[in-house]
């Protein structure tokens, strides 16, 4: 029985590409129209894992997804970085001169802004997903429309790439988290990254005291994100990602941090994934 992985968007999307990169292609991806739906399927036991985008090197953090992490409290068991490469694709036999319309997800369109400004002859329309725009061109046989989507979508929906790598920034990465509701065996010798959440007091220097605990134990703080605590004025949840080389240093840092925080939660300990 194959592993079922919930993805936001349709097949051929960056989420499916990230799922294949992490798990290999011997999996079954389950399409979901929203990130909340992916979490619901995991909660109901209909999938084994969720692949969830959490930050982009250009657009920044996906704040609504931090809210889902808070609400569902699924363990984070891994991460994967995906190099975002966007291509212009159309039906086989269609040339660039035939194209009148271009469609894609709003963020993808924004990331291709330079190309679109250089080609004002195209009328741009927004779609709910990059891969869904490719799927629409294919299913409706739109000979005057091109989609901006990943290469995987072109392959899946039988489209030809007219222009490659039209994204403005060629060093664009998205980080995805791997979530599950099933306990996994951890090889402590390999685990070297953790995602943690906590609250601090409102006193002067309360957050810096916590961060100093990590620094004093040689723990690298690779990400920090704050979100307001629901219904409480001037109170925040802090989400941090930390990395370490020596497990003992990490364990010592956690013991110190516990003394200075409230509602402390280790959201997941896993193996750091490099940008490749």
Distances (CA, A) of 157 to 11, 16, 89: 9, 14, 10
Residue 251 to residue 265: CA distance in whole angstroms: 14
Q: Which helix (H) or strand (E) holds 5?
A: strand 3-8
Q: Which helix (H) or strand (E) holds 226?
A: strand 220-228
Q: Please, what is the angle between helix 206-216 and helix 247-258, to 10°?
A: 160
β-strand partners of 148: 88
229, 199 Cβ separation under 8 angstroms = yes
Residue 52's CB is within 10 A of a number of other CB atoms, namely: 25
Residue 5 to residue 107: CA distance in whole angstroms: 24
- Of the residues 176, 198, 214, 261, which is catalytic? 176
Distances (CA, A) of 212 to 124, 157, 202, 221: 48, 51, 17, 10
Residue 108 to residue 95: CA distance in whole angstroms: 22
- Of the residues 38, 130, 145, 174, which is catalytic? 174
Both tokens of residue 223?
Answer: 């990400």
Catalytic, 176? Answer yes
Catalytic, 174? Answer yes
Q: Which helix (H) or strand (E) holds 139?
A: helix 130-139
Q: Is 172 helix (H, G, I), strand (E, B) or coil?
A: coil
Catalytic residues: 174, 176
């Amino acid at each position: 029985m194959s592993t079922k992985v919930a993805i936001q968007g349709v097949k051929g999307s960056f989420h499916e590409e990230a799922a294949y990169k992490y798990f290999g292609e011997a999996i079954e991806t389950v399409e979901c129209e929203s990130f909340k739906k992916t979490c619901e399927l995991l909660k109901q036991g209909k999938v084994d894992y969720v692949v969830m985008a959490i930050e982009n090197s250009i657009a920044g953090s996906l704040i609504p997804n931090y809210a889902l992490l808070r609400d569902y409290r699924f363990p984070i068991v891994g991460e994967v970085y995906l190099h975002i490469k966007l291509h212009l694709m159309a039906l086989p036999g269609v040339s660039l001169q035939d194209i009148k319309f271009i469609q894609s997800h709003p963020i993808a369109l924004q990331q291709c802004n330079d190309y679109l400004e250089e080609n004002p002859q195209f009328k741009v329309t927004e779609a709910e997903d990059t891969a869904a725009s490719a799927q629409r061109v294919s299913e409706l046989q739109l000979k005057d429309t091109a989609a901006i989507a990943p290469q995987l979508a072109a392959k899946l929906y039988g489209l030809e790439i007219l222009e490659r790598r039209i994204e403005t920034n060629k060093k664009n990465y998205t980080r995805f988290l791997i979530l599950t509701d099933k306990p996994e065996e951890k090889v402590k010798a390999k685990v070297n990254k953790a995602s943690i959440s906590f609250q601090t007091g409102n006193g002067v220097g309360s957050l810096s005291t916590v961060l100093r605990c990590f620094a004093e134990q040689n723990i690298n703080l690779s990400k920090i994100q704050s979100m307001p605590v629901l219904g409480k004025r001037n109170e925040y949840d802090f989400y941090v990602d930390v990395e370490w080389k020596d497990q003992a240093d990490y364990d010592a840092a956690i013991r110190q941090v516990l003394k200075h925080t409230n509602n402390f939660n280790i959201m997941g300990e896993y193996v750091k994934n490099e940008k490749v």
